[in-house]
Amino acid sequence: MIHTLLISEDSLARLNATALFTSPKHKTIRKDDLDSALDLLSSGLFDLVVYLGDCPASVSAIKEAAGSIPLVVTIGVSAETEQMAYSAGADLVLRTPLVLPVFERATRALLAPKERNPGLSHRNISVSAPAVALVNTDLEVLRNFSRVLGYSLDHKLFAQHFVLKLREVLNVNRIALFLEPAPSGTLGQTSVLRNRDRLTCVGAVGISNDLLECIELSRLSGIGLHITRFAQILRAEKDGPSSSVQDDAKIQREFDVLGCQVALPINDRERTLGVAVIGGRVTGNPLEDSELQLVYHLLEELGLAVKNSWLHHQLASSHRLFSDVLGAITSGSVVLGADLSVQHANRAFIRFLRGESNVADTRVDFADLPRSLASALHDLAENGKQVEPFFVVSEKNAGRSYRVSLVPFPSPDNRLPQPAMALVEDFTQIQAVQKAEVEASNFKLIALIAKRFAHEIRNSLVPLSTHHQLIDTDYASQEFRESLKSALGRETGRIQRFTEQMLFLSQPAHPADGWLPVGPMLRSAFQRAATSLGKQAHLQISGQNEDTPVRVHQASIIHALEEIFLNGLQETPVGGGIRVVLEQGEDTKGNPVLNLRFRDEGTGFTPETKARAIEPFFTTRTTGVGLGLTVARRIIENHSGWLDVSEKISLTDSDIVIHIPLG
């Protein structure tokens, strides 16, 4: 293992040296500046110092602090900077980005062991015998017991070797260990243990296999019930402290069948996992209480080892499950550890990375990732910088677009660096479908606009075309000339209004002219609307003072008010009127607004028409294109206000309310 100290003040430069982070031969420690690396340089721990940068002053300072430790400097492409680095004390200068094989070959000579000083020679050191000789039997016991640890991940093998070693130490004729079934499922899953009350033999010595296949203990009766309930050592010649006669007979029978004299609990310091039954000594002498107490504690350690083995298998099952899940999903996934090492990459990601023709090689290094993906993952893992999903184009899959989403896996204390995962989804077909939908939607919109255009212009052309046909024969008639004049004014006004609506929808918002009183603007807009329709009607303004000033663009706001008045006048009978109530209120943030409540003498909006009233091109009339309220809402919103359409339940309810900021 080569201990390498990496010094760099530039995160992008560190990204160019990612080969060092993933190399199994290098233990790399990174520091952002020389000051934070001084103590480490003086410790003598490092075999190599790498400086990412091209500042000669920094090179000199690092070399002075590093002393005899080889210094490698990485720079860009400038030959002049390379010479300056050597002059400042660099032992080796390399160009970025660092490629691991090239870096290892280039630094091999720097890391070669130095020749010994021929003036020094080895001394023969005689070792005297220790004052107190080690007891060979103790070492032998330790060596023999260590063999059990080699089976710590397989609880059955561990239990069998534990039984053999325990019989050897106690010199008994037989031992058997009975445990509940191992939990199934993955780690963290609430699994229901099958037959948890049944205790089966997992390790025995001195008892025939035929007998073990036929017998098992139970938590519901006999030895298993007593041990589970009291968690105490039970001898064959003693009754349990709370056993019934039937249970006593059951206990005695199980002891007789197994040929054992004592039973002990196997627990994990939380609950009882099973029972150990032990026979008599081969010499015939009984087991002492002190020995059984030691065995009790040994069995507790066995219980902890068994529990750890179960947890290991659950963890392994979880790992296999999630590996299978990640491998089966159609989206590419790559998981990075906190040290930027690739922990997992599924086949979909391999196809994204290398194309369809080279999916056999499943090995992936951080340096293999596309630069944009590697940079985003580096920022997320090292700095905790989360980025929104972004798109990349695979170099190995021409013409295909991929959406990349990054998922961090923070530690409980949010310590950095942190592991992270990238999900890569092929969005080529989705984008094509979205593009087709947009094009289809645009085509439908264009068709609707064309239909409304044609309908509105045709309605205007009908009376004009009729007068054009009669102009040669009837022009001398005063009545005809009056009719022609009226038709020209009315229809050109309709076309003019439609043109203005389209312009207000297409143009950007106009800046405000200044503070203007709302009353005169209401009256001007009402007059224009009444004239456009050729309708006699009256306007009533009440509530707040008509001179209340609002900051608006005059031409735009008058047009919006005119559209609202036109909508109301078309529903109002001849001689009727429209009432506007002015009142001051507040928006959701407490800012002052002026509310203008419009009420005409028509039937008002129904629930159906209310929901669609401000939709473009929606109209319930045979004339008009259905843009009036749409344009009005657009202009009001450009003034930071909003427009509400209300359902008229009673005659005093407002039809439309607009809210204009006063601040």
Contact criterion met (CB below 8 Å) for 520 and 558: no
Residue where a domain stops, chosen among 495, 518, 535: 495
- DSSP secondary structure, 333-378, as one string: EEEE-TTS-EEEE-HHHHHHHH-TT--S-----GGGS-HHHHHHHH
**Same domain membership, residue 406 and residue 376:** yes
Same domain, 591 and 612: yes
Flag whether the pTM goes above 0.85. Answer: no
Closest alpha carbon to 53 in 25, 28, 31: 31
* Res. 130 pLDDT band, cuts 50 70 90: very low
Q: Are residues 401 and 296 in the same domain?
A: no
What average pLDDT does range 34-52 have in this prediction?
A: 79
Max CA pair span of the chain: 147
Q: How many domains does the chain have?
A: 5
- With a cut of 60, say whether residue 187 has pLDDT above it: no
Domain that holds residue 449: 432-495
> Distance between CA 47 and CA 26 in Å, rounded?
10
What pLDDT sits at residue 135?
A: 43
Domain harbouring 179, CATH code:
3.30.450.40
Residue bearing the bigger pLDDT, 15 or 645: 645
Q: Nearest to residue 279, comparing CAs of 254, 306, 245?
A: 254
pLDDT in tens, 474-531: 888 888 888 888 888 878 877 777 777 777 777 777 888 889 999 999 999 999 888 8
Are 391 and 400 in contact by the 8 Å Cβ rule? The answer is no
CATH number for position 90:
3.40.50.2300
Position 116 in a domain? no
For 290, list phi and psi in degrees, rounded to 5: -65, -35
Read off the pLDDT of each residue in 299-311 and give the average, rounded to a whole number. 86
pLDDT at 262 over 90: yes
Of 424, 448, 470, the one marking the end of a domain is 424
* pLDDT confidence tier of residue 277, bands split at 50, 70 and 90: very high
| pLDDT (tens digit per residue) in 372-413 | 888 888 888 888 888 888 888 777 666 678 888 888 888 888
Average of per-residue pLDDT across 618-636: 80
Contacts 24+ apart (CB under 8 A), 467-472: none
In this prediction, residue 148 carries a pLDDT of 59
**Residue 309 and residue 371 share a domain:** no
574 and 518 fall within a common domain: yes
Q: Is the dihedral of CA 360, 363, 367, 371 positive or negative?
A: positive
Q: How sure is the predictor about 20, in pLDDT bands with cuts at 50, 70 and 90?
A: low
Alpha-helical (H) ranges within 112-221 are: 136-149, 155-170, 209-214
Question: Which 3 state secondary structure label does DSSP give 269?
Answer: coil
Mean pLDDT across the stretch 24-46? 77
Interacting residues of 524 by C-beta distance below 8 A, sequence separation 6+: 558
Whether 127 maps to a domain, the answer reads no
The answer on 462 and 576 residing in a single domain is no
Q: Is the per-residue pLDDT at 231 higher than 80?
A: yes
225 and 253 share a domain? yes
Task: Identify whether 77 is part of a domain.
Answer: yes
Domain presence at residue 447: yes
659 closest CA partner among 508, 524, 639, 505: 639
Residue-level pLDDT at 561: 93
pLDDT score for 77? 56
Confidence check: pLDDT of 34 > 70? yes
173 phi, psi to nearest 5 deg: -85, -25
* Residue 501 lies inside a defined structural domain of this protein: no
Instruction: Decide if pLDDT at 188 tops 60.
Output: no
CATH number, position 583: 3.30.565.10
Residues 632 and 512 in one domain: yes
Instruction: Tell me the CATH number at 408.
Output: 3.30.450.20
Structure confidence at residue 245 (pLDDT) = 38
Does the pLDDT value for residue 191 go beyond 60? Answer: no
Is 596 a domain residue? yes
Q: Would you state the pLDDT for residue 582? A: 93
The stretch 427-435 carries a mean pLDDT of 71
- Asked if pLDDT for residue 56 goes beyond 50, the answer is yes
Angle between helices 289-328 and 155-170 (to 10 degrees): 170
301 and 339 within one domain: no
Q: Does 121 fall in a domain?
A: no
What string of H, E and C letters represents the secondary structure of 522-591? HHHHHHHHHHHHCCCCEEEEEECCCCCEEEECHHHHHHHHHHHHHHHHCCCCCCCEEEEEEEEEECCCCC
Q: Which residues 6+ apart lie within 8 Å of 300 measured at CB?
A: 266, 267, 268, 269
Range name among 173-182, 276-285, 426-435, 624-633 with the lowest pLDDT average: 426-435
Q: How far apart are CA 598 and CA 629, in angstroms?
A: 13
Domain boundary residue, one of 59, 90, 111? 111
Cα 217 to Cα 180, 200, 269, distances in angstroms: 10, 7, 21
pLDDT over 70 percentage in the chain: 82
Task: Using alpha carbons, select from 516, 547, 523 the residue that is nearest to residue 639.
Answer: 516
Digit-coded pLDDT (tens) for 547-560: 889 999 998 999 99
Mind listing the pLDDT tens digit for each residue in 200-211?
999 999 988 878
Find the range with the poorest average confidence among 73-77, 230-234, 571-575: 73-77
- What is the per-residue pLDDT across 306-355, written as a single tens digit (0 to 9) for each? 888 888 777 777 766 666 666 556 678 888 888 888 888 888 888 888 77
650 and 528 together in one domain: yes
Q: Which of 328, 333, 353 is nearest to 344 (CA)?
A: 333
Residue 298 falls within a domain, yes or no?
yes
Length of the chain: 663
Continuous segment of H or E residues that includes residue 275:
strand 272-278
pLDDT at 78: 67
Q: Are residues 346 and 416 in the same domain?
A: yes
Closest CA to 505 of 551, 553, 556, 550: 556
Name residue 635's amino acid: I
Q: Do 286 and 415 have their domain in common?
A: no
